[in-house]
Amino acid sequence: MKRTMTSKERVRAVFARQEPDRVPVDYSSNPGIDGRLKAHFGLAADDGEGLCRSLGVDFRHVRPRYAGPKRHAEIPGRTVDIWGIRRRWVEHESGGYWDYCDWPLREATLEEIERWPFPSPDDYDYSTVAAQCEARREFGVIAGDPGVGDIINSTGMLRTMEQVLVDLATDDRAGLCLIDRKLAVQQETIRRTLEAARGGVDVLCIGEDLGSQRGPVMGLDLFRRHIRPRMQAFVDLGKAFGIPVMIHSCGSSSWAFDDFIEMGITVVDTLQPEAKDMAPAYLKRRYGGRLAFHGMISTAGPVAYGTVEDVVRNCRETLEIMMPGGGYAFAPTHQLQDNSPTENVVAMYDTARRFGVY
């Protein structure tokens, strides 16, 4: 039996494709199931740390606080964030979610995009980052998130995904200006965050959704022309601070993994097993010696639609495939959805604790 590691040691070992004492686990969820889990464990509604400890989560996040001015006016029936992205609340039978809407820059000209209010890296308070890292020093600390470096999704929230893909295919000046303005702010904000962390961050997370369930959303030539070079700037930033880079990419994205490896990306997140060429055995066999993996437990599979027994079986099978040789962190493929029964999610994490030991 291996010696018991701290969460930080565990995460670092896995992302170096080594075998830890047990598989590290991560957690992300929608508000409905999050609230039910807290109630299950007898926790207060705002006790996120207590829930992470109850589930045995090995990761924590740090980020600077936005301290700048309000950039966009409020709109009735909408939330409006610092980028001007608008959302509306949509109810469904198991809860609800904030859906993107309005797309204010869908038909914007280059001049309109150049004038669109964006936050500045100066708007963030980096003074608490080091203290956040210190408070989480026993865990694997992540800076960034799937929206960092993301082009298609986040730009599409302002311009529509369809228009963003057209912009990329046609080298549209307005669309590319929007992309580059946003990425410039994010890149400098991340640089200052990592600098302020003073070595307390273990992994940089970026994102770019590159696949549907059936295959790529673009050709490799378009990816290499517009996505890869912009993504590379963030990867190089992680390298400069000596930390691995993890990329979140939904859908069928393994067609880009060889490029990820060439770029210096260390970890791939999400890994939806039902998508084309994303099955655990396929990814482990083809990329297990060159990439680490974070995810693989489908939020659209047994956790949402099966029995507890189905969940245990699915999680055990995934662990058996992914654990040998290390390089695997157990996590949902995306945020756990509100239609996931509480007992299924509890069984998911219990299975990781019981059967994820080396």
> Across residues 233-244, what is the average pLDDT?
98
Check if the beta carbon of residue 339 is closer than 8 Å to that of residue 96: no
Instruction: Please give the mean pLDDT across all residues of the chain.
Output: 97
> Which residue type occupies 47?
D
| Interior angle at CA 335, CA 100 and CA 33, nearest 5 | 100
- Please list the helix, strand and coil fractions of the chain in percent, rounded to the nearest 5, in that order: 45, 15, 40
Q: 124 pLDDT exceeds 70?
A: yes
Q: What is the CA radius of gyration of the chain?
A: 20
| DSSP labels, 164-227 | HHHHHHHT-HHHHHHHHHHHHHHHHHHHHHHHHHTT---EEEEE---B-SSSBSS-HHHIIIII
Check if the beta carbon of residue 30 is closer than 8 Å to that of residue 336: yes
Tens-digit pLDDT profile for residues 127-137: 999 999 999 99
Tens-digit pLDDT profile for residues 35-79: 999 999 999 999 999 999 999 999 999 999 999 999 999 999 999
* pLDDT value at residue 93: 87
d(CA 238, CA 187): 11
d(CA 272, CA 280): 9
Tens-digit pLDDT profile for residues 27-38: 999 999 999 999
Q: Three-class SS string for 51-80?
A: HHHHHCCCEEEECCEECCCCCCCCCCCCEE
| Residues facing residue 89 across a β-bridge | 98
- Between 3.40.50.2300, 3.40.50.1470, 3.30.200.20, 3.20.20.210, what CATH number should domain 7-68+106-355 receive? 3.20.20.210
CA-CA distances (angstroms) from residue 264 to 228, 243, 246, 268? 11, 11, 10, 11
The DSSP secondary-structure symbol of 256 reads G
Check if the beta carbon of residue 274 is closer than 8 Å to that of residue 212: no
* pLDDT value at residue 92: 87
d(CA 191, CA 177): 21
d(CA 18, CA 10): 9
Q: 1 pLDDT exceeds 80?
A: no
Check if the beta carbon of residue 343 is closer than 8 Å to that of residue 307: no
Q: Which residues contact 354 (CB under 8 A, 6 or more apart)?
A: none
Check if the beta carbon of residue 180 is closer than 8 Å to that of residue 171: no
pTM (2 d.p.) = 0.96
